[in-house]
Chains A and B, each alone.
Chain A
Amino acid sequence: MNAQSQITRAPEAGYNFAYLDEQTKRMIRRGLLKAVAVPGYQVPFGGREMPLPYGWGTGGMQLTAAILGADDVLKVIDQGADDTTNAVSIRRFFARTAGVKTTTRTPEATVIQTRHRIPETPLSGDQIMVYQVPIPEPLRFIEPSETETRTMHALEDYGVMHVKLYEDIATFGHIATSYAYPVTVDERYVMDPSPIPKFDNPKLHMSPALMLFGAGREKRLYAVPPFTRVVSLDFEDHPFEIQRWDECCAFCGSQDSYLDELIVDDAGTKRFVCSDTDYCMQRRDLEEEGAR
């Protein structure tokens, strides 16, 4: 996996830098300014067709294309992994259309486009996270009408979100929502943090990095500036909790990272491994160095 990092090529001829035309980039950039000024509010933007289908990260790619510069180092992760199809193809896309350096190592990256995870390695103030978002509206599953949800946001009418969580408690005895867990940003807007596991929600709170969210199909973008209060919704008697495991990572032994469950044989034997491949790799490299 390390072999594919640090590849720099001349950008492909015939495309504008980072694929999108300048007019589109300016439109997205103006939208991003408003998104940063009103944290958690979904700004509509004129989403463009990208050369891959909706659901593969077209929203995130448009934001990345709008912010990316020649000196940026790009990392792309899909469910924590740098080596899955989605991550590899998006990373290659920007290496080819913008000629930017790419990396798999979190501390080296300046722009990290992600699908459904926040890296375990703490982020810094010089990094920008770009999230791919399938459905940006946290109220959508309760209220299908866009005009209604827009009014609900305007009136700060978020009672139904608590009803939804309460229904979980009534049915299962605990809040069973485990990903795309709704948050309140700076005590105003309720926001869908994209389908990250709720394990990652605390990393949004007062993060030093700027977080940008892009939904390509729904044509919405929103943002959480650095050092912004992001609170997961909960109840006094059912406080917000993150997932915990009794096991540790089978590769690196980490006890505090988000673990994926693997079935390793026909008898159903389970093993657990880190979902963040770069974090796992860094820990194993350290261990090897220590052993030498």
Chain B
Amino acid sequence: MNAANSSQWLQPAFNDPVLDAQTSFRSALKALAEPGLAQPLNRALALENLHPATYALCLAFLDGDTPLWLAPCFDTPAIRANLAFHCGCPIVDERELALFALLDDSQLSDLSDFENGSERYPDQSCTLLVQLDALSTGEVLRWRGPGIKDVRCVELPLPAVFWQQRQARSAFPRGLDAFFAAGEQVIGLPRSTHVLLKAEEAA
């Protein structure tokens, strides 16, 4: 695909770029500040196989300063053209360079190359935008940490290997932050959240 004939793929983004971006950001901020609580995120339309919530996260946070890594299933001409037009974010092939990564559930078994920050600059880490089919059909896990009063039960449909990968990549303050989007909802999972796995609870 070249830039000259990519306009056929373009679709409208936010109706109101200023206020819709602000509303989407506030939902994302609340999702991350209160991990595990689903927040509404409905200001964008679906773009091909990107759900409204996933696309709204992209539109709210991506711009020329944020290299993006695209999972193969999202690497389509339409998604590339719209992200290039509405966000202007560089799309990178190397996971190490990405500040944001757009993933689907087939990519969760390997998070090894995404940047998880350094001890001095833990903020220079990749944020994972993960699109799922639903946010509440998985195994019930207990989350605790900042933003959660006691314990919150969350049933994200995630494979066990994701939790192993997350564990392997986290050494607080280093770690990966994730948003899980499905339909018009988002759930945040910051690195500060401790997820009690079944094996740990038994121990």
Q: In the docked arrangement, what's the CA distance between A68 and B25, Å?
A: 10
- How far, in Å, is B40 (CB) from chain A's closest CB? 14
- Note all chain A residues with C-beta closer than 8 A to B54: none
Which one of A30, A35, A68 contacts B66 once the chains associate, using CB atoms below 8 Å? A30
Q: In the docked arrangement, what's the CA distance between A223 and B30, Å?
A: 13
- Which of B22, B26, B173 has the most CB atoms of chain A within a 10 A radius of its CB? B22
Whether B148 sits at the interface, judged by CB under 8 Å, is yes
- Note all chain A residues with C-beta closer than 8 A to B145: 186
Identify the stretch in A196-204, A224-232, A241-249 within 8 Å (CB) of chain B at 4 or more residues.
A224-232
- How far, in Å, is B127 (CB) from chain A's closest CB? 7
Cβ A186 vs Cβ B61 within 8 A: no
Which one of B18, B22, B127, B191 contacts A38 once the chains associate, using CB atoms below 8 Å? B191
- Known A-B contacts A34-B125, A36-B33, A69-B26; the reply to A29 vs B60 at CB < 8 A is yes
- Note all chain B residues with C-beta closer than 8 A to A224: 146
Interface flags, A32-71, vs B, CB<8A=1, else 0:
1111111101011000000000000000000000111110
- Note all chain A residues with C-beta closer than 8 A to B53: none
- Known A-B contacts A29-B29, A37-B190, A227-B148; the reply to A69 vs B123 at CB < 8 A is no
Closest-by-CB residue of A relative to B63 is A26
Interface flags, B164-179, vs A, CB<8A=1, else 0:
0000000011010100
Closest-by-CB residue of A relative to B122 is A38
Give the bracket for the number of chain B residues in contact with chain A: 35 or more
Tell me whether chain A's interface is mostly helix, strand or loop, or mixed. Answer: mixed
Which one of B23, B32, B60, B192 contacts A186 once the chains associate, using CB atoms below 8 Å? B192
Q: In the docked arrangement, what's the CA distance between A188 and B194, Å?
A: 14
Closest-by-CB residue of B relative to A42 is B123
- Note all chain A residues with C-beta closer than 8 A to B63: 23, 26
- Note all chain B residues with C-beta closer than 8 A to A67: 22, 25-26, 29
Cβ B123 vs Cβ A31 within 8 A: yes
Q: In the docked arrangement, what's the CA distance between A240 and B134, Å?
A: 47
Whether A27 sits at the interface, judged by CB under 8 Å, is yes
- How far, in Å, is B169 (CB) from chain A's closest CB? 13
Whether A256 sits at the interface, judged by CB under 8 Å, is no
Which one of B22, B122, B147, B190 contacts A227 once the chains associate, using CB atoms below 8 Å? B147
Cβ A41 vs Cβ B19 within 8 A: no
Whether B28 sits at the interface, judged by CB under 8 Å, is yes
Residue total for A at the interface (Cβ-Cβ under 8 A): 44
- Note all chain B residues with C-beta closer than 8 A to A22: 17-18, 21
Cβ B127 vs Cβ A69 within 8 A: no
Whether A151 sits at the interface, judged by CB under 8 Å, is yes
- Note all chain B residues with C-beta closer than 8 A to A186: 145-146, 192
Whether B65 sits at the interface, judged by CB under 8 Å, is yes
- Note all chain A residues with C-beta closer than 8 A to B61: 26, 29-30, 33
Whether A162 sits at the interface, judged by CB under 8 Å, is no
Interface flags, A67-83, vs B, CB<8A=1, else 0:
11110000000000000
- Note all chain A residues with C-beta closer than 8 A to B34: 125, 225-226
Cβ A228 vs Cβ B25 within 8 A: no
- Known A-B contacts A69-B23, A154-B119; the reply to A225 vs B28 at CB < 8 A is no
- Which of A27, A32, A33 has the most CB atoms of chain B within a 10 A radius of its CB? A33
- Known A-B contacts A23-B63, A67-B25, A69-B22; the reply to A39 vs B192 at CB < 8 A is yes
- Known A-B contacts A33-B32, A36-B29; the reply to A41 vs B122 at CB < 8 A is yes
8 of the cross-chain contacts (CB-CB < 8 Å) are A26-B60, A34-B125, A36-B32, A38-B191, A69-B22, A186-B145, A225-B32, A226-B147
Residues of B near any A CB (own CB < 8 A) = 17-19, 21-23, 25-26, 28-30, 32-34, 60-61, 63, 65-66, 99, 118-120, 122-123, 125, 127, 145-149, 172-173, 175, 177, 190-192
Q: A22-B18, A67-B22, A188-B172 are in contact. List 6 more A-B contacts (CB 8 A).
A: A17-B22, A34-B122, A36-B29, A38-B190, A151-B120, A223-B33
